[in-house]
Each structure stands twice: as structure tokens, then as C-alpha cells.
Structure 1
Amino acid sequence: MRNLASRVAVLAALAFCAQVFAADAHFVMISHAPDADPFWNVVKNGMRDASDDFGVSVDYRNPPNGDLADMKHLLEQAAARQYDGVVTSIPDVDVVQAPIKAIVARGIPVITFNSGTSEQSAAVGALLHVGQSEYEAGKGAGELAKAAGVKSFLCVNNNVTNPISFDRCRGFGDAIGADFKTSTLDSGNDPIEVENRVFAALHRKPDTQAVLALGPTSADPSLRAVEKLGLNGHIYFATFDMTPAVDKAISDGRAAFAIDQQPYLQGYIPVALLALMKRDNTHDVERALKELVADPAFQNRLKKYGLVPHFGPHGVATGPSFVTRTNLGVVEKYTGQYR
């Protein structure tokens, strides 16, 4: 009996130490996103929930205007601060690879997320990539449009400083047989400017059959431009990511679908994995993935918000999934917070 009590006491002490060890962990999440992009509010909600679930602290850093030179400086600062782990996007591998490699060289675990590819992630020394293949997402969207008879489109790109963003336009163009270069519009990020540029582009080419917006910053103003031109119901509209305005457009039939990359998971999973590796005192990300899949808090989050990650040999795919009128009700109430 005394031996059993001693063992229980030891296990309790170890559990307490593990919690303290995880709580001492201090991570940073660095993105390329400008402050104006509402998509990242959902990512940050995932980051904060993982921080709460696993008892760690996480700083969020981004260049306010989306300047990649500023992002590079943020990565350099992260290396100097000796965080316990770093989560970063790869908007342009040529710009960010040197500071990411410097972080890895210091023995700090890095997980990449959102922008970038699994191949780029491995090349810079990161342990894993969490996100979606932008080309495949664009191609999947294009295949849906092709089935509806679409042969021409306008790709509204509000993030041209991110080279990976063009893969969305390229995939869509390849699927419908259109040249994505001549179909892509640099819309900027100011809502009025986006609306005016889309209005002008569609006015110049009235035979354009579809509009593909690359995110909330471009989707809502593009919808207004389409409405002002009297093209509701006459032009095929699709967008990446969810907003209340996009939800309503899908519900009303003004938009065919939205491509959901489950940004909440992009914020949650990297932080959770770093926390588990820190707790276990290892950089074994495969072991951490197995522990995460079995974690009750994580499973509760997935069930509550209707989220479905795909764990593969080269990373965690959070998308694409397509939200249409048929499944809109499942995600609508969480749009802007968890979807």
C-alpha cells in the first residue's frame, strides 16, 4: 500500500512538473499578413485556444502593411530572442529562408504554416508544414467552375507581394483552360480601391464569365462591384475564405462557393505541436502528432467547430474544403471566429 502511495505521489509530481514545463514555454507566431486582413483573426483565435489548452504563451508578430522586408526583420528578432519554438509562414522563400535557417541553426524548432509548401518547409529546416496546397485549391475551384461552363475569369489578387498567392490563380486558370497571367488583377487592399478596380476590369471585359477573389479583403468589395454592374446571377463568383458577406452571397446564390482552408487549425495545430514537443523534451514531431490526435481538448475543438484536418506524411492539410449552399449551415455560425 505504501509502495502504491509512493508511486501515485511520484506520478502526480511528474504530471505537475510536465504542466510547469509546458507553461514555461514561450513561442512566437510570425505571419506575412497586413493588419487589415480579417482572415487572420480566425488564425489568432486558434493560436490563443491552443495556448490555453496546452498552458503555453505565444506572441503574434506581423508586418502591419504586409511588407516582407519587415517580416524578415521579425524573424531575425525571433532568432535573437531564443524563443522555445517558432511558427512562421513562407510567403516568399527567397526572402525568408535565411532567417528561418538561422533560427533552426540555434536549435529552435520551427513549424511553418499557411503560406508556403511542404517542400519549402523541409528546405528551410522546419519540422512540418500546416496549411493547404494553393495550386491544388485553385485547381479544385477551377474544376467546379469548368463544370458550370466557365472558360474565362478575373482573379482578384489582393496579396501580390506573396508569390504563392498566384498559384491560386494559376490552378484555376489551368482547370478552365485560361491564361492566369492575363486574367489576374492586382487589386490592392483598400476596399474602395478593390471595388473600383474590379468594376473597371469587368467593365472593360464584359464577356468575363467568372470572378475568383483570393480572400476576404478582395471578396467583399468584388461582390459590391458585381452588384453595381448588374451582374448578380450572370457571373460565376467564388472566393477563398469566409466572411459574413460571403456567407450571405452563397446563401442568396450570388456566390457559388467559398474555399475554406480552416484557418483556425492553422493557428491551433502548430502551437499545440510545439507545446507537446516542449513538454516531452524532444523535437519528434511525429510523436507529437500522435499525441495531438489523441488529445481530448483537440478532439473537442474539432467536433464543436466541425473541423477536419488531414494528417499526411509531408504535413497537415487544412484544406481545401468547399462551402456551398448545401453545407453552409454547418459553418455559418462560426464564420469570422472559428471558420
Structure 2
Amino acid sequence: MKSTLKALLMAAVVVAAPMMATSSASAEGEKYILVSHAPDSDTWWNTIKNGIALAGEQVGAEVEYRNPPTGDIADMARIIEQAAASSPDGIITTLADYDVLKGPITNAVDQGIDVIIMNTGTPDQAREVGALMYVGQPEYDAGFAAGLRAKGEGVTKFLCVNHAIQQPTVGERCRGYADGLGIDLGDAMMDSGTDPSEIKNKVLAYLSANQDVDGILTLGPVSADPTIAALKENGMAGSIHFGTFDLGEEIVKGIKDGTINWGIDQQPFLQAYLPVVILANWDRYGVLPGNNINSGPGFVTKDGLTKVEKFAGEYR
């Protein structure tokens, strides 16, 4: 098993450069469509695109990435319906809003299309819509683990900067964090929006009005990067506890210079790569893992940053 994983990682290094040029891999064979909830502006999903591209190349399948340009969930529902209408061999999709997306996903399953839920949603929700399995990070559990760690590191009052308030599952990170700390979430979860300037200004204003806040949690690069800028502007960088979900170039820099205490890596590369490989093997040989796959959480600190820094935004 270890040798197989090592070979896959080596392959990722070899093909890293060409994979950056495209978000889909074309070859003769099965066709799979990955539908995400991410807007075009969210560069974190480049790692997802790299994951499906490499997997498609290796298994000889065509893999296409689709998403709502603005991140609108209703638009995403329509994209899933359109994807199902094209009769692919399989659909890989996030389940960012169960109530909105369960219908289109269930309809795809009823049409005989194999579905794997990745990234957002839960194993229980994946089962309820008839998906083969779930590959991702249990959001509440990850937030709870972050809260326990932050509590041990002295955090008593926090701000959670949520750039995806319209996606209920993402908010579970903030709720889990509060429970891990053992305090009420209250009004600590900020609806920051996605505009970098607005996020920065909102963080500055909140910290100015709540000077007893000693911890910050951001939910990805979209909210982390402007928060880094805010802390550098108000002189709090390195003096306030700062944890974040996900990785990215600025986040890795922040961990390295001490602005960020740790990042939580849900390994998006695996969330995209594994479903393609699983679907191909299911279609060809009828073999399927017996359990859902948790791709995270894992804490990334200054220790062992070398490989993470090298591949941040590409494969990490």
C-alpha cells in the first residue's frame, strides 16, 4: 500500500506542470463530471482540478469540471441536472446545501448514474441521496478538533470569519470550533462575504469593537488572506491566536512567519483524485471501498512545511 501511494505521489510531481494548464483530462474511456459549489474566484479549487486531471490521465477516463460562476447553489442544482442529462458514467459532486441539491442528485441516481459526494455534505447525507460513498472532511468534527486545540493554546473568545455563509455545511466548522472551546457560538461567526477589501475591513472593525477577542478562525484562503492583511495593518499579526482551514500560498507564508498558528488540511487533491479512481474501478471491475473516506482533518504547523510549501495551491 505504501509503495502504491508513493508511486502516485511521484506521478503527481512528474505531471505537475502540464496539469496546471487544464481543468480536465481527455482520454478514451468513461466520462465523469465533477460539479462543485465554488465560484470562479475561489482559487482553492485549482487543487481539485489538478486532482481530477491527474486521475483521469492515469485511469484513461475523460473528466470535466463544472461549477456555478458566482457560487450560486440554485445554479449548481441546474448544473447537476444538465450533467445528468448528458448521461455520463458518473458524477462527483459537493453537497453544499442538502435541501437544494438532494433532488437533482437523487434524480441522477434514479437515472442509473453513479454518484460520489465529495468535499461538503456528510456520509449520512450521501447515503440518503443514494450516492456510492462520501470522500471528504467531516466539517463539524474538524471544527471541534480545532476548538480543542485552540483551547489548549489559550483561546477564550474568538471570531470565526465565514466567507461562505450561504453553505450550511461550512458553518459547521465554526460551530464545532465553539463547542471544542466549550463556549457558545453566539455572534462570533461573521458573514464576511467574499470581497477581499470588505473582509479585511470587517475583521478590523470587529477586532476594534471586541478587544477581548484572543482567537481567530478563518475557513479558507478566501477569508484567511484578507485577515492576514488586517492583522498586519492593526499590528496584531503574531500576537493573536490564528487558525485556519485549508492551505494556500499566503496561508503557508503566514504559518511560516508566525502570523498563523496552524492550518487544517482536508487534502482536496485526494477529495478529487480518489473518486475518479474509485468510479473507474467500480465501472470496470465492480469493486468499491466498503467505507467512506475521511480526507481530513490534519493540522499543518511550521514543522514539516517543506513539501506542503512546495505543493501549496497545486496538490496540497
TM score, norm. by length of structure 2: 0.90
Structure 1 position 234, deviation (Å): 1.9
Alpha-carbon distance in 2 for matches of 1:119, 1:314: 12
Give the match for residue 266 of structure 1: 271
Residue 318, structure 1, aligned to residue 295, structure 2: yes
Matches within 5 A, 1:169-208: 169-208=174-213
Amino acid at match of 1:330: K
What SS does structure 2 have at the residue aligned with 1:112? strand
Paired residues of 1:216 and 1:241 also in contact (CA < 8 A): yes
Alpha-carbon distance in 2 for matches of 1:132, 1:233: 28
Structure 1 position 24, deviation (Å): 2.4
Matches within 5 A, 1:66-145: 66-145=71-150
Residue 251, structure 1, aligned to residue 249, structure 2: no
Alpha-carbon distance in 1 for matches of 2:169, 2:190: 15
Paired residues of 1:128 and 1:285 also in contact (CA < 8 A): no
Structure 1 position 330, deviation (Å): 3.1
Paired residues of 1:156 and 1:211 also in contact (CA < 8 A): yes
Give the match for residue 332 of structure 1: 309
Give the match for residue 210 of structure 1: 215
Give the match for residue 285 of structure 1: 288
Structure 1 position 247, deviation (Å): 1.0
Structure 1 position 81, deviation (Å): 1.0
Paired residues of 1:26 and 1:83 also in contact (CA < 8 A): yes
Structure 1 position 178, deviation (Å): 2.4
The two structures, once aligned, show a CA RMSD in angstroms of: 1.2
Paired residues of 1:118 and 1:314 also in contact (CA < 8 A): no
Alpha-carbon distance in 2 for matches of 1:227, 1:180: 26
Amino acid at match of 1:49: L
Structure 1 position 314, deviation (Å): 3.6
Identity %: 46
Amino acid at match of 1:318: S
Paired residues of 1:54 and 1:272 also in contact (CA < 8 A): yes
Matches within 5 A, 1:20-39: 23-39=28-44
Alpha-carbon distance in 1 for matches of 2:237, 2:83: 47
Alpha-carbon distance in 1 for matches of 2:291, 2:210: 41
Give the direction of change, closer, same or farther, for the CA distance of 1:181–1:33 in structure 2 (3 Å limit): farther
Count of residue pairs brought into register by the alignment: 290
Residue 46, structure 1, aligned to residue 23, structure 2: no
Amino acid at match of 2:308: V
Alpha-carbon distance in 1 for matches of 2:262, 2:171: 19
**Greater CA radius of gyration, 1 or 2?**
1
Alpha-carbon distance in 1 for matches of 2:86, 2:62: 14
Alpha-carbon distance in 1 for matches of 2:201, 2:251: 19
Alpha-carbon distance in 2 for matches of 1:255, 1:120: 33
Structure 1 position 232, deviation (Å): 1.7
Alpha-carbon distance in 2 for matches of 1:216, 1:314: 30
Alpha-carbon distance in 2 for matches of 1:315, 1:26: 22
Amino acid at match of 1:31: S
Structure 1 position 279, deviation (Å): 2.1
Amino acid at match of 1:335: A
Structure 1 position 25, deviation (Å): 0.8
What SS does structure 2 have at the residue aligned with 1:285? coil
What SS does structure 2 have at the residue aligned with 1:43? helix
Alpha-carbon distance in 2 for matches of 1:248, 1:110: 37
Structure 1 position 278, deviation (Å): 2.0
Q: Where do 4+ consecutive residues of structure 1 move more than 4 Å?
A: none
